[in-house]
Structure 1
Amino acid sequence: MKRRLRNISESGASEGLSMKSIAILLLAGMSVFAQGQNAPKSALDKATLEAYLRYSELWIPQVAVKIDDPKPSAVSGFMDVAIHLTFNGATKDEMYYVSKDGKSIVKGTAYDIAKSPFQANLDQIKTDQQPSFGAAAWAPVTLVIFSDFQCPYCQKEAQELRKNIPAAFNDKVRVYFMDFPLTQIHAWAMKASIAGRCLYRSGQDAFWEYHDWAYQSQKEITPESFDTKLQDYAKQKGLDALQLGRCMDDKTAAADVEKAMAQGHALQVSATPTLFLNGRKLEGGVEWPILQQLLQIEIDHKAAEAKLAAAVPVPAKADDSCCTVDIPTLVGKKK
């Protein structure tokens, strides 16, 4: 009996020790959990930033969110964080500024008072090898339009620009065309853009004739009829239809379109037409009377800048005669 009692006592001691160990482990786990709960949140953590923005911006669960790595920002003390949203094939890009300590998020536009308010856009817009018309390449005003050949609003904007820019501002404004087909909603827009790039290889005139035809024929074109319509257009213009067909299948032309689209995404273009007037972003098309005023304002602004720059005196070359002692010699002063 005594031996049995001793075993029970030993067993109780063992159980007591085990319970004590479990209690210690539980307390340790709770402590770690509490530390995690109390740890400061950082917007530089992608999961934390996404959760915060989903709540603040009311993005629905079906919206896919991709967050780029933070990059150095022109805004002192902050990092640039680009965020890409996708929903049902549609994409949109947003830019946020996150403080280097991860405590603050800023959404908006930062300006450098010594530069154009639209310098960030100007730095990203690349117009080389893009179709253009109007004034010379060094014109004071540049109008860049991101457009979609299947977009009805783009059709209206294109017709107004083609008619009014040469008549009103032919020596002051140059217009550049950038492909931005909304492939998720426009079935033949990409094909139309590729065809435009193919014809651009033959020169500016070839592209703009096609551009005007495509918009004029927009209501008659369908995804099923585009190829036939294009071949008919080529025959009417005396173009090599076979060569055009080969170009359409060539990935180089498609790559040119995708390059323009990538530039649009970098500029956060999400609607067509989107215009950039010397870097100023104008979304969704602008009625000609309003655009005409905006163009004139920009022309006047550039003229005022040039006048101010001309009025700034050029620093005179330093004259050290006031501080140099000259002693005349028979051979004169050596230069």
Structure 2
Amino acid sequence: MNSSLSMQCCNARQAIFVYLVKRSASLFLLLCIGCSAQSSSNDEATQRLKRMIRADYALKPGVEITLGERQRSDFKGYYKLPVFFSLGTKSQRVELLVSKDGRRLFRVQPIDDVEEKISLAGRPVRGSKDAKVTIVVFDDFECPYCAENHARLFGEVLREYGDRVRIYYKDYPLFEIHPWAGRAAIDANCLAAQDSEAYWEFADYVHPHAREISGQGRPQPQQFALLDNLAVSLGERRKVNMGQLRSCIAAQNDGALRASIKEGDAVGVSATPTIFINGEKNEGVLTSQDFRAMLDRELRDAGQSPPAHGSTEAASGGPKP
């Protein structure tokens, strides 16, 4: 092959180059996926593209990637390319922009996209509703790591930061491994519909006592009964409308629960706890140092002074009904 012909053809071993700009108004993913009819087939190019997407998104081995049909876009010279991720019954859709010559792809994600997708309307809040720093936790009542996070968040972090932060919980029960987590979430929401503090008292009790609720071989109906009785006991203590509470518990309407799970899926939640601090995603339990570093940074960015930090230890627990 002469030099001029070589310059016209793509090298089959050409590497894929990625340029990713994070924490900007938009997130761009640039992939050079050079293709040649002589050097690689469309199938090979598709597989290379899938491998690159898998690596960039850090997808688990079991996640399947499906490329949709190209569509017209508002960007000159580019088509929209839907990409679907699926794992079991869960799925997520993202959109890329592909150049008409098939050589470049862009992913555009507005910086405020995450916060816009998480609805906090009507959710119980701890801290100050007017705080500049918002902590949103996608939580599972039966998850031991969530219990550890709950203890640190409310035994130490809230004590230090007080009205400088506001904390919300969103439901994301892992039904496959935590059979009563969904029941607990619905019961808690029945309390929240009338009394936010009753919701938090429920969470304060269930998280450190999840193992006791599960019991050694305890049948699921008995687990459900324990949760229902706890909600009723807290409702009586908080003097809510008991008829309304009992009806809510009996109905077990999971509409709000499913909506919360859908929101979690939309912002990339796949495990619990997943913690968003002013929209920044963090998976797993954060250490006290991690919390402090992130919260202090967000406070300074908002023009506020962080609190003085002492050597406090996390505490757990809540009122026993």
Using structure 1 for the length normalisation, give the TM-score.
0.63
1:164-220 deviation line (CA, Å, top 9, x unaligned): 233211121101110011112211111111111111111211110111111122011
Deviates more, 1:151-160 or 1:52-61: 52-61
After TM superposition, list the pairs within 5 Å mapping 1:184-263 onto structure 2.
Answer: 184-222=176-214, 223-234=220-231, 236-237=233-234, 239=236, 243-250=244-251, 253-263=253-263
Name the count of aligned residue pairs. 255
Q: Which residue does 2:319 correspond to in 1?
A: none
Contact 1:146 1:272 in 2 (8 A): yes
Q: Which residue does 1:130 correspond to in 2?
A: 123
Contact 2:183 2:227 in 1 (8 A): no
- Residues 1:93 and 2:76 are matched in the alignment: no
Distance in 1, Cα, partners of 2:72 & 2:168: 30
Larger gyration radius, structure 1 or structure 2: 1
- Residues 1:121 and 2:114 are matched in the alignment: yes
Instruction: Report which of the two has the higher share of helix.
Output: 1
| Distance change >3 Å, CA 123–CA 231, structure 1 → 2 | closer
Distance in 2, Cα, partners of 1:243 & 1:225: 23
Structure of greater relative contact order (alpha carbons < 8 Å, 6+ residues apart): 2
Distance in 1, Cα, partners of 2:245 & 2:273: 27
Q: Tell me the amino acid that sits aligned with residue 194 of structure 1.
A: I
Using structure 2 for the length normalisation, give the TM-score.
0.66
- Determine helix, strand or coil for the equivalent of 1:93: strand
Distance in 2, Cα, partners of 1:73 & 1:144: 33
**1:97 to partner: Cα distance:** 2.1
**1:225 to partner: Cα distance:** 2.6
Q: Which residue does 1:267 correspond to in 2?
A: 267
- Determine helix, strand or coil for the equivalent of 1:167: helix
Q: Which residue does 1:282 correspond to in 2?
A: 282
Distance in 1, Cα, partners of 2:72 & 2:271: 28
- Tell me how large the CA RMSD over aligned residues is: 3.8
**1:75 to partner: Cα distance:** 8.7
**1:107 to partner: Cα distance:** 8.0
| Distance change >3 Å, CA 62–CA 216, structure 1 → 2 | closer
Q: Percent identity?
A: 25
- Determine helix, strand or coil for the equivalent of 1:159: helix
| Distance change >3 Å, CA 63–CA 276, structure 1 → 2 | closer
| Distance change >3 Å, CA 249–CA 100, structure 1 → 2 | farther
Q: Any stretches of 5+ residues in structure 1 without a counterpart?
A: 1-36, 112-117, 305-335
Distance in 1, Cα, partners of 2:75 & 2:160: 39
Distance in 1, Cα, partners of 2:302 & 2:73: 28
Q: Which residue does 2:12 correspond to in 1?
A: none
Q: Tell me the amino acid that sits aligned with residue 119 of structure 1.
A: D
Distance in 2, Cα, partners of 1:105 & 1:285: 37
**1:54 to partner: Cα distance:** 5.4
After TM superposition, list the pairs within 5 Å mapping 1:1-335 onto structure 2.
Answer: 57=54, 77=78, 79=80, 81-87=82-88, 89=89, 91=90, 93=92, 95=94, 97-101=96-100, 103-104=102-103, 106=105, 118-136=111-129, 138-222=130-214, 223-234=220-231, 236-237=233-234, 239=236, 243-250=244-251, 253-303=253-303
**1:78 to partner: Cα distance:** 6.5
Q: Tell me the amino acid that sits aligned with residue 162 of structure 2.
A: N
1:65-113 deviation line (CA, Å, top 9, x unaligned): 56677789899856463523123x5x363645231427256587757xx
Deviates more, 1:227-236 or 1:167-176: 227-236
Contact 1:149 1:215 in 2 (8 A): yes
| Distance change >3 Å, CA 125–CA 238, structure 1 → 2 | closer
Distance in 2, Cα, partners of 1:187 & 1:170: 34
Q: Any stretches of 5+ residues in structure 2 without a counterpart?
A: 1-35, 215-219, 305-321
